[in-house]
Amino acid sequence: MEHVVDARTGGDRITLTGLRVFAHHGVFDFERADGQEFVIDVTVLVDLAAAARGDELARTVHYGELAEAVVHGVERDPVDLIETVAERVAQIALGFEAAEAVEVTVHKPQAPIRVPFDDVAVTITRSRA
């Protein structure tokens, strides 16, 4: 029986929640100079049946490598928008051969907003197709 992953309806997934990265993204000069913490959630859709059947790490997405690649990608090259950071993370995740689709949320808990808030975040979904 073949297992099919469909990004629209769900399927097998690997999820990293709450990756914390200190970086210098933001529109304002003080954000670029001082930096702040960003929190990243990544869900990769991948057919896990083959990996499970053969107990083979090479047939899945190595979540440790994914975590390190995401952190490195968020730390480098400051940009203005967390939307741009999310797109960068999505491209990193889709760089893993087994990844078929990805959902990325970038949280900016210290965003420069003048009213009380718990979180600011953007979420994007991307796929190979």
Rounded to an integer, what distance in angstroms lies between the CA atom of residue 91 and that of residue 47?
A: 18
For the question of residue 108 being annotated catalytic, the response is yes
What are 101's strand-pairing partners? 45, 127
Q: Which tokens hold the place of 65?
A: 């490598």
Contacts of 113 (CB under 8 A, 6+ apart): 120
Which residue of the set 25, 88, 107, 108 is catalytic? 108
Cβ-based neighbour number of residue 5 at 10 Å = 19
Give catalytic residues, as residue numbers: 108
